[in-house]
Structure 1
Amino acid sequence: MKLYVPHTGHLEGLEELLNGSKNIYGIYMAGTPDYVGTGRTNLSAPGLEEIEVQTAYAHEKGVKMEVVLNSSCMGGQHLTPEGYNRINWYFNKLNSIGVDSITVAEPYFVEMLSRDHDMEVVVSVLSFVDSPQKAEFYERLGADTIVIDPVINRDFDKLEAIKDTVSCDLKLLVNEGCLYQCPFRYAHFNFFSHANGPGPKLNVIDDYYYYKCLSLRISDPQQLIKSPWIRPEDLGEYEHITDIFKIGGRTHFPNWILNNVEAYTNRSYDGNLMDLLDCPRDIRDLFYIPNKELDGAISQWEKCNKICNKCGYCKRLAEKIIKVYSTEDGENMLKPLKNEGGH
């Protein structure tokens, strides 16, 4: 198994990760947002000198270095002469540093990197590759690896069709805690791409998408079960698709990341599934999902037709196993979800 692990972008964190586990195949982190943005919030944005030092350190440990430049919207800057020259210069610098791979969401960058640079070209989840047809188009553009849209993590017919259609590598994101079929997904990543990109910087009042998504999961906790995560125990069900798995969470600290590495390496986690998911702390601190009580659920999802209003399996499972943290008389306790008002 090849496990790609998130990294916040500073050397101390990288040292903690690579000294904390021998089971990390590759590290990924954001690049410098002055050139290409990213679809996630950055805790840190390393400059070229920092990337060079960290790439050398990763290589000393036998670990691949991947830089994520997966802006889903460049506002057309990349298609101007000035924008192209600036971005191409940055790609050249990363190439000379020895970065192993670049993750991008912009199709133009896939072709540009494949044609003009030696680094492995990785198509981001923010390219939303969810069909064999789309995967084939990206492979023709020059993709070496495609990170499959997690929305089809439980749609084995589509995963197998993609596997049969392309010859490039496939990578699966295992611990995303986002809404299944999220209506805010495209708009939210476009917002992040501009907020974490070269500018002009936005004077934003609030992150509407974040709080709306948060409120939907709190008011309807079955959405936590529907989220397209893959449990550590279920990795074996995907090995005929790929042996490359990605842990999401480059805004988290090394101890959280290492906990995930241990769980997915051992293919077992006895605790709260929420501990592993890349989702807001507001949700992780509210719900308890006993991971071991999800044993066998993958069998249902493998044959599920994803018509939730006719199925109801995830709703029943949520009501059965999810508990809510509550405080009474100064003591913390867990209460069954089904006793909470409105559920």
Structure 2
Amino acid sequence: MKLFVPSPGHINSLKELLTAKDKIYSIFMAGSPDYIGTGRSNLASPQLEDIAAQTEYAHKNGVRMELVLNSSCMGGRQLTPEGFRINHWYIEKLVDIGIDSIVVADPYLVETIARDFDVDVVVSVLAFVDSPQKAEFFAGLGAKSIVIDSNVNRHFDVLHAIRDSVDCELKLLVNEGCLYRCPFRYAHFNFFSHAFGPEPRPNVLDDYYYFKCLELRIASPELIIKSPWIRPEDIKHYKDITDVYKIGGRTHFVDWILNCVNAYHNESYDGNLMDLLDCPKDLKDLFYIPNKSLDSVLEQQWKNCKKVCKKCGYCKVLTKKVTRTYTKGGTEFESLEPWEETLAVGT
């Protein structure tokens, strides 16, 4: 198994992460938002000298380093002479530093980097590769690796079709907690691309997409169950598709990341599923979903699910069966209650 593991971007974080270097194939982190943004907010914005130091440290420990430049929107700057010059200069510096791979979402950047630089080009999950046709297109542009759209993580017919269509590496994002077929996804990542990308950055009051998504899942936790995450125990069902897995969560603390690394490396986790999902802390502090209670659900239901939720209702029943809610707001009287009971009393 090849695990790609997130880093917040500080050298101290990297050193702490690499205490588990025997379980990590590659670290990935964002670069400076001054050049090309990413699909997440930034806890750190490492400059070239920081990236160089961290890359050298990772290589000394036998771990690869990947830079994420997966802005889903650059406002057309990448197609201007100035944008081309700046981006080319930045990527050249990253290659000189020794970065092993660069993640991008824009097809133009995939083709440009593959053509002009000696570095592995990775197609981001934000390119939404959800079909063999899209995979073939990006492979034709020179992609070395493709992170498949997490929305099809439980569509095994699609995953096998993609595997049969391309020879390049395929990578699965295992723990993203986003809504299945999220209606906010494109707009939200475009917002991130501008809010945490090069200047000028919008002066927004709040993140509508974040709060609306949070509101929906608090009201209907079955949406958490429907999210296309892959449990550590279920990795075995994907081994004929790929042995490369990406743990999302570069905005989290290192101890949380290491907990995920151990769970996925061991292919087992005895605890709250919410501990592993890259989702808001508000949800983690509210819901307890025993991970082991979901044993066999993938093979018995989700592998063959038609995804017509209104007719099926399986996930709604499952949610009521397994989900518990923390009550009493973290006080000394904190307790876990079945979600259905807390719903009935309006808590």
Query: By the TM > 0.5 criterion, same fold?
Result: yes
Q: Which residue of 2 aligns with 1:260?
A: 260
Q: How many residue pairs were aligned?
A: 343
> For residues 264 and 305 of structure 1, what CA distance do their matches in structure 2 show?
27
Cα offset, 1:20, TM superposition: 3.5
Deviations 1:146-174 (CA, angstroms, capped at 9, x unpaired): 00000000000000000000110000000
Q: Which residue of 1 aligns with 2:131?
A: 131
Q: Which residue of 2 aligns with 1:333?
A: 335
Tell me if the contact between 2:37 and 2:194 (Cα under 8 Å) persists in the aligned partners. Answer: yes
Cα offset, 1:338, TM superposition: 1.3
1:310 aligns with 2:283: no
| SS at 1:108 equivalent | helix
1:319 aligns with 2:320: yes
Q: Which residue of 1 aligns with 2:33?
A: 33
Code of the residue aligned with 1:243 in structure 2: it is: D
Q: Which residue of 2 aligns with 1:115?
A: 115
Cα offset, 1:298, TM superposition: 0.6
Code of the residue aligned with 2:166 in structure 1: it is: V
> For residues 160 and 288 of structure 1, what CA distance do their matches in structure 2 show?
33
> For residues 20 and 238 of structure 2, what CA distance do their matches in structure 1 show?
26
Q: Which residue of 2 aligns with 1:196?
A: 196
- 1:1-343 aligned at under 5 Å gives the runs 1-299=1-299, 300-327=301-328, 330-341=332-343
| SS at 1:22 equivalent | helix
| SS at 2:130 equivalent | coil
* TM-score normalised according to structure 1 size: 0.99
Deviations 1:274-306 (CA, angstroms, capped at 9, x unpaired): 000000000000000000000011111111111
Cα offset, 1:340, TM superposition: 2.7
Cα offset, 1:264, TM superposition: 0.5
Code of the residue aligned with 1:338 in structure 2: it is: E
Code of the residue aligned with 2:214 in structure 1: it is: L
Tell me if the contact between 1:67 and 1:99 (Cα under 8 Å) persists in the aligned partners. Answer: yes
Deviations 1:96-118 (CA, angstroms, capped at 9, x unpaired): 00000000001100000000001
> For residues 80 and 88 of structure 2, what CA distance do their matches in structure 1 show?
12
| SS at 1:46 equivalent | coil
> For residues 219 and 37 of structure 2, what CA distance do their matches in structure 1 show?
32
Tell me if the contact between 2:121 and 2:145 (Cα under 8 Å) persists in the aligned partners. Answer: yes
Cα offset, 1:339, TM superposition: 1.4
Cα offset, 1:42, TM superposition: 0.8
Tell me if the contact between 1:21 and 1:258 (Cα under 8 Å) persists in the aligned partners. Answer: no
Tell me if the contact between 1:324 and 1:335 (Cα under 8 Å) persists in the aligned partners. Answer: yes
Deviations 1:10-49 (CA, angstroms, capped at 9, x unpaired): 1000000002442000000001111100011110010000
| SS at 1:4 equivalent | strand
Tell me if the contact between 1:218 and 1:283 (Cα under 8 Å) persists in the aligned partners. Answer: yes
> For residues 314 and 274 of structure 1, what CA distance do their matches in structure 2 show?
16
* TM-score normalised according to structure 2 size: 0.97
Deviating beyond 6 angstroms after TM superposition, the runs of 4 or more aligned structure 1 residues are none
> For residues 141 and 70 of structure 1, what CA distance do their matches in structure 2 show?
16
> For residues 15 and 239 of structure 2, what CA distance do their matches in structure 1 show?
30
Tell me if the contact between 1:132 and 1:162 (Cα under 8 Å) persists in the aligned partners. Answer: yes
Cα offset, 1:330, TM superposition: 4.5
> For residues 5 and 318 of structure 1, what CA distance do their matches in structure 2 show?
29
Q: Please list every run of 5 or more consecutive structure 1 residues that lacks an aligned counterpart in the other structure.
A: none
Cα offset, 1:341, TM superposition: 2.7
Code of the residue aligned with 1:60 in structure 2: it is: K
| SS at 2:87 equivalent | helix
RMSD: 1.1
Code of the residue aligned with 1:238 in structure 2: it is: Y
The share of aligned pairs that are identical, in percent, is 63
